[in-house]
Chains A and B, each alone.
Chain A
């Protein structure tokens, strides 16, 4: 049997997030015999729908129903989880903006070890497991040995484990709402107000077939011109990584990534982009990815179909010239 494993289920509009079934795969790697419990918090009919749905994949579903959870606030749910989760259990949480809000503090409250942003796991042996993580924005990876005998909170990188869609079981739904609330003062010290929707920009990169995407490797705002010239020659739109938006060189609506737009082009040119997972997380639909980077070890080359090791400031204008030349000849 071993330690109990819990998976925190993200959901929206009554539908569980893709990460839900990915966490089953991760849990099975840790211990194929463990019973896996889905923890689903929310309120009303939408919550019930998610719980029913999760019941066909998880052995047990813990439902936590409370009006205060209609919009999930990590400060409210954390004390509830700390109260109901058994000592020494293993808790899997997706590593995204909500997980980053919840997980580190939860590990303290449970006195469990915290393993952040893991994307590879080994089986548990003698109360220890081996995890794979990245450091330095993905430039190097490391194996971490972790003593989980006193419990663990593990945040799991979305998309890094294949969803387990084969389980068809008749899981139990257990209502934990009352127990979760008992003598817990919900985190009233932080009050959710509203969502401010992202600004709409002049181009909608989510609709583009071809994207010429630029990263910090462009070095200077004035150099952006060569990127726009290439995009024009190719008939593409220009998108970018986060530092370009942080520097206010391009508008937020052009940012690709987990905190920006999710794009589904046919061709994606990554120019001077290192390939951090938060950037790659915004590229869907398996496009043909071309990476140009002067560092041959840049992680983008692991995601790309074709790589060119070169300085974009030299390479991009040459490529543009050749495309323009070719077009002239063929007309």
Chain B
């Protein structure tokens, strides 16, 4: 099976406290730790497991800039067979639709059976996978937490729905799936693994290579625009307890007793 996994390099929310910059135009990007988007890492692990079971090839791809190459390499160290960087001045500032359009052009150059994306990335949109599927006219399933290969024409997928229940579907190949966390346990990637793939070449495909018109991507292709970033004020009820550790604990125990929190 030929599998393409779409990945994105994002500020790691479990390693950083994300703050708004001074004039509210962006987040504070100095000293940020970046990682591969958590959901995408599960998607790559799943692709590797499928390949190891039924054979085939795993390609990881990202739309980004030079520094985004590092996540491709990381996922190659994990076991992906190759990486592709889609990069062009024209892509900068693309919205989800623009990113999906770039990915679509790359998909059409290949001959893939299965495309995986993460369920969502850093801006919490959860849009690129569904848009890509619609542009390709391929079937789509979101929030996938189980994949079983039936044969080379179809697979069975579980979708995570409310209450921990799982919706089982059969879906024809080729298709696009968005992957939910918890579908597997992504393997650990050490420094040594990354060193091993350090010299592998990662091709860069530009707008011209992909035959993409500049006006459907980048800022000009986007109908949405961020005006500012801000942090809402704490809710009216949120009283932050202050004082020495001892004072805080005394106060808390008193409150908990009053609310029936200590039996």
Q: Which residues of A come within 8 Å of B, CB atoms?
A: 73-75, 78, 96-98, 100-101, 103-109, 113-117, 130, 133-148, 150, 187, 189-199, 209-210, 216, 233-236, 242-243, 245-248, 252-253, 255, 258-262, 266-267, 269, 274, 288, 290-291, 295-297, 301-310, 314-315, 318-319, 322-323, 326
Contacts and interface: CB of A to CB of B under 8 A. Distances in A.
B187 interface: no
B182 A242 contact: yes
Contact of A259 (B20, B164, B249): B164
A140 B234 contact: no
Contact of A198 (B129, B164, B178, B259): B164
B227 interface: yes
B175 A191 contact: no
A115 B182 CA distance: 27
Interface of B: 11, 13-14, 17-20, 27, 96-97, 100, 119, 122-131, 133-135, 138-143, 156, 158-172, 175, 178, 180-182, 185, 223-235, 237-241, 245, 248-250, 252-253, 255-256, 259-263
Contact of B159 (A101, A187, A236, A291): A101
A188 to B, nearest CB: 8
Given A267-B261, A319-B249, A109 B134 contact: yes
B140 A75 contact: yes
B163 A198 contact: yes
Given A195-B168, A308-B252, A210 B260 contact: yes
B248 to A, nearest CB: 6
Contact of A144 (B164, B175, B225): B225
Contacts of B182: 242, 245-246
A143 B229 CA distance: 7
Nearest to A299: B232
A326 B227 contact: no
A113 B237 CA distance: 36
Contacts of A98: 161
A6 to B, nearest CB: 18
A197 to B, nearest CB: 6
Given A194-B168, A297-B19, A319-B249, A144 B224 contact: yes
8 contacts: A78-B134, A97-B161, A97-B162, A261-B164, A297-B231, A307-B240, A318-B249, A322-B253
